[in-house]
Structure 1
Amino acid sequence: MEFRQLQLFVAVAEELHFGRAAARIGMAQPPFSQQIRRLESELGVELLTRTSRRVALTAAGSRLLEDARALLARRADVIHSVQQAASGETGTLRVGFAASSAFGVLPDIVLRFRTRFPKVKLELDDSETLDVGAALVSGELDIAIIRAPFRHEGLTVERLLQERFVLALPARHPRARQQVVALSSLANEPFVLFPRHSAPGLHDLVTSMCLGAGFSPNILQEASSWPSVVGMVEAGLGLTIAPASSQALCPKGVVFRPLSGAPGHAELVVAFPGTRPAPAAQHFRVLAHEAVSRSGRRASD
């Protein structure tokens, strides 16, 4: 018994007329009738009673009509489900991100993705111990948004956003009254930073900028999450240098000031295995670029 035979049977069972049923399917009547006879032979039952005046369903035919409709509907559902999975509209998308990438950017991307692809389950991983590059290569992650510099064999890395650095300091700090703070003037200030292993690119960039300004940063405190970092800054335990987008997530007791003498830029990149991401990851990638573009923070070349 084939799905095609069931389609033909449903047509004749609903029309109760071989000629109309054949025309509905787009077949000549003789081969149409042959297919129905073949189905009856395969099942070993009579599905239709035929006279010169009428066609009627037998008890077996009525039972098959109900089941055939259910099978054909289920078949259509399966085909649709498979097609949705192939196009990235269902399934699970595993996204890795560094703590610093959550600054104002990731929430917008996630919101856009959930709105457009509500049937895709998003799994976000910002684990400090996660090796993002290895996780992408092994398939543990499908795509990641992380801070540059980031390079890994077997991955494609695209710049998503480039932004300036700013200084975050307690609102009561004397330098909070300055409109612009010179990086070189911070040589004797205590700093709060991410541990290097949690954001190596960002950590090295901040450190190299300080060295370029003539001093090595005096890192007195480390915190793995941005809320913890700014919490320590607000408590007066130190200052921190962060991407400008970090201002979107800031307590009232912390202020931000532009830095002079800080030539570096914070870059956010999107990384995925191979040369083209899987369908759901591709949707996420496109929406990530779209979110950055529409926010007016285009990645600069």
Structure 2
Amino acid sequence: MDISFRQLRAFTLVAQTLSFTRTSELLHLSPPALSYSIRRLEEALGLKLLARNTRSVELTPAGEHFLPQAQQLLRVMGDAVSDAQELLNLDSGTLRLAALPTAAASFLPGVIAAYSREHPGVQVSLLDGRAGEVRDWVLAGEVDVGITSLPQDMLGLEFKHLVNDNLVLLVRDEGGDLESWKTKPYIALAADTSIRPLADMTLLSLGVNAQPTWQVAHMSTAAAMVREGLGFTLLPASCSSFLQLGEALLVLPVAQLVQRSLGLLQRKPVRQTPALQIFMQYLDSRLSQAFA
């Protein structure tokens, strides 16, 4: 059934004015064009909607029955167009984010704050969790996009690289030989974190024993233990922006074989809403400053 907005609008106006001449003027259509539009609507419905002679126009019983339905269709279509335009202008809508703790506690709050100031009508939500959790949220459609490391299992997902957030060495500043950290106990993050495999691989490439003396779930715990001289740890460089490291800790670069890539994780087929497209502009700007 091929029914257009223009046909419905023409019919409801004729029903209101009971005049083809007046309706033609309101719609800026010629009388023949209006008549053609009504005829196409009647053909599509298989109904005679209007009874017309040289003097008057009136609704048929079928026309009287269809009129409220046509008016309802116009309202629904008008609301849909209005909602789409509002979303395009970012006057409304939602943006559901998920992120690793390193992103959620470092650069992401500033991006969300700047975005929300400019687009207060868009409701932004944030879930923070480990890489596996972020992947599951994205795959289940619970969030629109995840800011995370590259998952091993990419089935049904698409990953777009944003920036490398490589590991740095945290060790207590005790003076003397900087290489002495290699003989200290290893304070590792839990095995189910995305950082742990990369940290172990980096230590092995440097000829350092990767067997941990301590295993903790949170980066703040690892940093606190290093501060008290219990050993060393490897954490993402972005952690230095939100962990209270203090002067007692040294933050040193380390050579690593594999880069720690952070990026956008989305479920296929990828859908870039206007709200997400504008958010990405804010995110790219912030990352270019934070990782310059």
Same-fold call, TM cutoff 0.5:
yes
| 1:273 is aligned to 2:267 | yes
Distance in structure 1 (CA, Å) of the matches to 2:80 and 2:177 = 61
State the Cα distance separating 1:76 from its structure 2 match. Answer: 1.4
Tell me, yes or no, if the aligned pair for 2:94 and 2:122 is still in contact at 8 Å: yes
Match of 1:198, as an amino acid? T
Which of residues 162, 165, 169 in structure 1 aligns to 2:167? 165
Structure 1 CA distance, aligned partners of 2:125 and 2:264? 16
1:249 Cα deviation from its structure 2 partner: 0.2
Give secondary structure in 2 for the equivalent of 1:219.
Answer: coil
What secondary structure, in the 3-state scheme, does the structure 1 residue paired with 2:287 have?
helix
CA distance in 1, matches of 2:260, 2:87: 36
Instruction: Deviation per CA, 1:182-207: give whole Å up to 9, x if none.
Output: 4x4212323433212022xx212222
Q: Deviations over 1:34-70 (max 9, x none)?
A: 96xx9xxx99999xxxxx9xxxxxxxxxxxx9x9988
Q: Aligned residues, how many?
A: 277
Per the TM alignment, residue 27 of structure 1 is displaced from its structure 2 partner at its CA by 2.1
**1:188 counterpart = 2:190:** no
Quote the residue 1:124 is aligned against: 127
RMSD (Å), alpha carbons: 5.1
Measure how far apart 1:108 and its partner are: 3.4
Aligned CA distance change for structure 1 residues 168 and 161 (closer, same or farther; 3 Å): same
Give the letter for the 2:255 counterpart: P
Q: Map 1:4-23 onto structure 2 (within 5 A).
A: 4=6, 7-8=9-10, 19-23=21-25
User: What does residue 197 of structure 1 align with?
Assistant: 192
Q: Once the 2 structures are TM-superposed, how far is the Cα of residue 25 of structure 1 from its aligned partner?
A: 0.3
Partner of 1:251: 244
Q: Distance in 2 between matches of 1:224 and 1:148?
A: 20
Q: How far apart, CA to CA, are the structure 1 residues paired with 2:218 and 2:27?
A: 63
Mind listing any 5+ residue stretches in structure 2 that lack a counterpart? 56-66
TM-score by length of 1: 0.63
Say whether the 8 Å CA contact 2:99–2:134 is kept in structure 1: no
The residue type equivalent to 1:195 in the other structure is: A
Offset at 1:72? 4.5
CA distance in 2, matches of 1:127, 1:149: 11
| CA distance 1:196–1:23, shift in 2 (3 Å) | same
Counterparts of 1:151 and 1:101, CA distance in 2: 21
Q: 1:220 to 1:72 in 2, by over 3 A?
A: same
Runs of 5+ unmatched residues, structure 1 = 47-51, 53-64
Task: Find the counterpart in structure 1 of residue 103 from structure 2.
Answer: 101
Hey, what's the Cα distance between the residues in 2 that align with 1:71 and 1:159? 44
Decide whether aligned partners of structure 1 residues 185 and 269 sit closer, same or farther in structure 2, where only a CA change above 3 A counts.
farther
Q: 1:205 to 1:149 in 2, by over 3 A?
A: farther
Among all aligned residue pairs of Structure 1 and Structure 2, give the percentage whose two residues are the same amino acid: 20
Amino acid at match of 1:186: W
| Corresponding residue of 2:209 | 216
- Give the TM-score of the pair, scaled to structure 2: 0.65
> Deviations along 1:131-180, whole A, 9 cap, x unmatched?
72x554454554322235755244333321124533334xxx443xx5x9
SS at match of 2:78: helix
Instruction: Flag the 1:79–1:213 CA change in 2: closer, same or farther, 3 A.
Output: same
For 2:271 and 2:217, how far apart are their aligned partners in 1?
Answer: 30
* 1:145-164 mapped onto 2 (5 Å cutoff): 145-148=147-150, 150=152, 152-164=154-166
Change (3 A) 1:291 1:174: closer
